[in-house]
Structures are given as structure tokens and as C-alpha cells.
């Protein structure tokens, strides 16, 4: 199951689709062990925990967190003890504008979805509360009422003996989250209504969890909330630090929540940990030492990145030099690696090539470098120069520095001590700005 042509590469190199053991064929064909132990630590923590345990899981965007999570939720020891209820925020909400209100609503809807899929009984008192929610959505968000005319696509959820909870659930869920994801005004209306009533939403999550737990008998529900690693700097601090105590109040539901790299380095990170739970960070794949050399350890990591490519395509489709370039400029980030391969494949195909060569990869790197540098201002470049020279951030981790981490302009590596590097895509521009800033000349930032 490998790409046999340049055209196949687009199908087999989909950076938006994390691998999962649920797709056995793809998992066996493409998955590669990365020698990172964070998920093993999280697994051990949950297996020793009591009900209501919570964990935060973060790292750079695109470094394999979702695939690691998918591996975790299919571990036999985990599935023996827990029933997994997973939601991906990117499918339901706007990760760049998200608050606790809509996240709690998303959790409620996802627990109900789990109950429906597993034919579990849900109490009539919960049905009544959801009907009130539906009425609000109908009046305030102009979501079409679905109670009278029940058509194909509605979902019936069993109520208490003879209760017959029947919610036209799929349509309500789809309509609501379409508005919440795409309409700022809808988000404002819902927040204004339910922010003062957060306790009600928290109690609804707890009651849903309790009902599900009664049905499961031998297993505990475990909520996996993915996609939160894309939340922007300020919304992340508000969600996890300022509103973090709301997660702790859901004391009968175990949770694993992904978090963005910016929160990990924020001064508010300790507040989030104390309110919610321990933070685990998935390390980047380190390809070079601090002095930009390759040693025995980094050579193993180069091989991991190469195999991530070679497991998906026939070796004849990419030259060794092009593969080396793709790995180097990825910075150890899997998503960047995949995107470079796809762009270079398209470049080669347009030029009637039959394989990705060095020139194709050079064009891919050039395009990605331009795109990466485009939003950077002088203050950004000054910080990047500081990182290149010191291998660390100097001064306060303010919003600008956190944005550089969140946007993969700067990358964190950990081998004993933590240190930082400028994204390899931007390295060739550093000397230019070092000279300009050092001479006192008027600086015009090129795009």
C-alpha cells in the first residue's frame, strides 16, 4: 500500500488525516514508532488514577499528537478499563475563537452521541433540559425546529423505562455547530446566554456522564478532547487558566485535553496545571544538536523521518537528496514533512517529471519559506536572531514570543535541557537581517 505514481502521493500523504489503529491497513502500512515515551507515561497515569482524573497533552502543531492519541485510545489496557468518548474540536467549533461555554456544549452533545451509538439509556430529566436548549437555539439562533416533523436523520435515544427520549439529534447537532463554527454573532449570543449559567452546563455534563457510567457498569467514560492545540494564545490562556477550574468541577469524568504549545510556555501554564491536571509535552523529533551537527542520536531521528516518507511511497519516486532536504526543512515536524513532499510531487508532475528531484524540493522549500516569512515583522526577526544565537528566549515570554512558537517560526527541542531553534525554512534569511539590524540601516522587511 504505497504511492506508485506522483499522483498517488496526494492520496497517501494527507496531513489532515492522522493515522489510527481503527484503519488497520493504513496503520500497519504507515505507522512508525518515534521512540517518544509521553503517551506511555499518560497511559500509566490513567491506569493508576481514580475517576475524574484529568491530563493536559501538548506540543507543537503537526508533531504527531493526534496519531499518538489514536494509539493511546486503542491500547488494550485502556479499552479494558475505559469507554472512550472522543471529540475533535476542529470538526465542531472554531479553534481560533473558542470559550468554555461552547466547549461544554460540545462535550454534552458528544456524550449524547456516544449514548446513541451504544444504545444507552438516558434519563428523561436530561431530555427535558435538551429540549430547553433546542428551544433557545430555535428562537435565538434561528435554527429550524425539528420536534414536530421527524424525518430521516433523526436519532432516538432511549429514555428511562418507557420514557422514550426522542431527539431529532443529528440535525440539531449539525445545525448548531455549523453556526457556532462559522458565525461570530451566534457565538456571542450563546456565550451571553450561558456564561452566567456555566454551573448548569457543568451539571449537565456531570449528569450525562453519570447516566453513561451507570449503563457501562464495568467501565469508566474517558473524554478525549483533541484539536485544542490550535487555540490561539489569548483564548488558550482564558480557556485553560482563567476558566480551568470549570473542568475540575466535572469531578466524575476523566479527561485528556490537548493544549497548544503557547500555553505550555505561558506564565499562566502553572495555573492551568493546578486547576486541571498534569501537563505532558510531546517532544519534537530532534534532527540536529545545538551546534547544528548530526550525532548518533540525531541520526536515528533522521531515519525515523525518512521512514515516515518511504513507508508511503516507492523509493524510486524521490531522490535521496530530495528526501534529505525534506527531512531537514521539516525541522522534525511531521506535518511540514508531508506538506513539503506533496508540494514537490505536484511541482514534478506539472513539469512532466516521474519522480521528486532536488529541483522540485528546492521549489517547495522556496514556496514554504516565502509563506513562512510573510507575516513576520522586525520585532519577530529580532527575537528569531536572539534564538539563533542563544538557543533560548531572552526576556519575558510575551504574546509575540508565544506566537512564534504557536506558528512554528521557532521550535522547541528537549534532550536533557530544553533549547530552541529557528525553523529551518527561515534560516537563510537570518544573516540578511542580522546585517541590517547590526548596521543601523533602515530596515525594510522583505516578504
205-222 residue pLDDT tens: 999 999 998 888 789 999
CA angle 60, 230, 35 (to 5 degrees): 30
pLDDT at position 259, please? 96
400-439 residue pLDDT tens: 999 999 999 999 998 767 899 999 999 999 988 988 887 4
Task: Say which range, 65-69, 79-83, 135-139, 276-280, has the weakest mean pLDDT.
Answer: 135-139
Q: Name, in order, each residue with C-beta under 8 angstroms of 322's C-beta and a sequence gap of 6 or more.
A: 344, 356, 357, 358, 360, 361
Question: CA 409, CA 380: separation in Å to the nearest integer?
Answer: 9
Indicate the pTM of the whole model.
0.88
Q: Considering the chain, what is the average pLDDT of its residues?
A: 89
310-320 residue pLDDT tens: 999 999 999 99
- Distances, alpha carbon 405 to alpha carbons 27, 56, 68, 230, 372, in Å: 30, 18, 21, 12, 13
Question: CA 368, CA 328: separation in Å to the nearest integer?
Answer: 13
Question: CA 100, CA 207: separation in Å to the nearest integer?
Answer: 18
Measured in whole angstroms, the distance separating CA 105 from the mean position of its chain's CA atoms is 19
Q: Name, in order, each residue with C-beta under 8 angstroms of 18's C-beta and a sequence gap of 6 or more.
A: 64, 66, 67, 69, 70
pLDDT at position 442, please? 43
Given the DSSP bridges, would you call strands 410-415 and 417-422 parallel, antiparallel or unpaired?
A: antiparallel
What values do phi and psi take at 217, rounded to 5?
55, -65
* Residues belonging to the chain: 447
**Strand locations in 112-207, DSSP E?**
155-156, 166-167
First to last CA, the chain: 40
Identify the three-state secondary structure at position 254. Answer: strand
Task: Say which range, 69-83, 114-128, 223-237, 352-366, has the weakest mean pLDDT.
Answer: 114-128
Are 235 and 405 a contacting pair, CB within 8 Å?
A: no
Q: Is the pLDDT of residue 187 over 60?
A: yes
Question: CA 299, CA 211: separation in Å to the nearest integer?
Answer: 51
Are 235 and 99 a contacting pair, CB within 8 Å?
A: yes
Of residues 446, 409, 42, 418, the one with CA closest to residue 255: 42
Q: Name, in order, each residue with C-beta under 8 angstroms of 266's C-beta and a sequence gap of 6 or more.
A: 233, 236, 237, 241, 397, 402
Q: Which fold has domain 37-281?
A: Rossmann fold (3.40.50)
Neighbours of 376 (CB within 10 A): 20
Residues of the chain with CATH 3.40.50.300: 37-281
Amino acid at each position: 500500500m504505497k504511492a506508485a505514481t506522483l499522483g498517488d502521493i496526494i492520496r497517501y500523504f494527507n496531513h489532515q488525516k492522522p493515522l489510527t489503529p481503527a484503519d488497520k491497513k493504513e496503520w500497519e502500512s504507515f505507522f512508525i514508532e518515534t521512540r517518544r515515551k509521553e503517551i506511555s507515561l499518560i497511559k500509566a497515569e490513567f491506569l493508576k488514577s481514580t475517576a475524574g482524573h484529568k491530563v493536559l497533552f501538548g506540543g507543537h502543531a503537526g508533531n504527531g499528537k493526534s496519531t499518538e492519541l489514536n494509539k493511546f485510545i486503542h491500547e488494550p489496557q485502556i479499552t479494558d478499563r475505559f469507554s472512550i468518548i472522543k471529540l475533535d474540536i476542529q470538526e465542531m467549533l472554531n479553534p481560533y475563537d473558542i470559550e468554555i461555554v461552547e466547549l461544554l456544549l460540545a462535550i454534552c452533545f458528544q456524550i449524547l452521541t456516544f449514548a446513541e451509538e451504544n444504545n444507552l439509556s438516558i434519563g428523561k430529566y436530561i431530555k427535558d433540559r435538551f429540549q430547553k436548549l433546542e428551544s433557545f437555539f430555535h428562537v435565538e439562533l434561528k435554527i429550524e425546529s425539528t420536534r414536530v416533523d421527524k424525518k430521516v436523520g433523526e436519532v432516538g435515544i432511549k429514555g428511562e423505562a418507557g420514557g422514550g427520549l426522542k431527539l431529532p439529534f443529528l440535525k440539531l447537532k449539525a445545525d448548531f455547530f455549523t453556526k457556532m463554527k462559522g458565525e461570530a454573532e451566534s457565538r456571542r449570543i450563546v456565550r451571553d446566554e450561558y456564561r452566567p449559567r456555566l454551573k448548569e452546563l457543568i451539571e449537565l455534563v456531570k449528569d450525562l456522564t453519570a447516566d453513561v457510567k451507570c449503563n457501562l457498569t464495568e467501565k469508566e467514560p474517558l473524554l478525549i478532547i483533541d484539536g485544542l492545540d490550535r487555540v490561539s494564545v489569548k483564548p488558550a490562556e482564558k480557556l485553560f487558566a482563567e476558566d480551568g477550574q470549570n473542568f475540575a468541577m466535572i469531578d466524575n469524568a476523566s479527561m485528556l485535553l490537548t493544549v497548544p504549545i503557547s500555553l505550555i510556555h505561558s506564565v499562566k501554564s502553572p495555573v492551568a496545571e493546578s486547576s486541571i491536571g498534569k501537563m505532558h509535552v510531546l517532544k519534537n523529533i530532534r534532527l540536529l544538536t545545538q551546534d547544528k551537527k548530526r550525532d548518533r542520536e540525531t541520526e536515528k531521528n533522521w531515519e525515523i523521518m525518512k521512514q515516515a516518507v518511504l513507508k508511503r511511497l516507492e523509493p524510486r519516486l524521490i531522490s535521496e537528496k530530495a528526501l534529505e532536504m525534506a527531512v531537514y526543512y521539516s525541522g522534525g515536524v511531521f506535518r511540514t514533512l508531508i506538506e513539503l513532499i506533496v508540494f514537490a510531487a505536484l511541482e514534478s508532475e506539472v513539469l512532466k517529471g516521474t519522480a521528486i528531484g532536488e529541483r522540485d524540493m528546492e521549489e517547495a522549500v522556496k514556496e514554504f519559506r516565502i509563506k513562512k516569512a510573510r507575516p513576520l515583522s522586525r520585532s519577530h526577526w529580532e527575537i528569531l536572531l536572539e534564538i539563533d544565537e542563544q538557543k533560548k528566549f531572552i526576556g519575558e515570554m510575551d504574546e509575540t514570543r508565544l506566537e512564534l512558537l504557536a506558528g512554528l517560526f521557532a521550535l522547541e527541542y528537549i534532550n536533557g535541557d530544553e533549547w530552541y531553534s529557528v525553523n529551518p525554512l527561515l534560516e537563510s534569511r537570518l544573516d540578511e537581517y542580522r546585517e541590517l539590524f547590526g548596521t543601523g540601516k533602515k530596515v525594510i522587511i522583505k516578504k
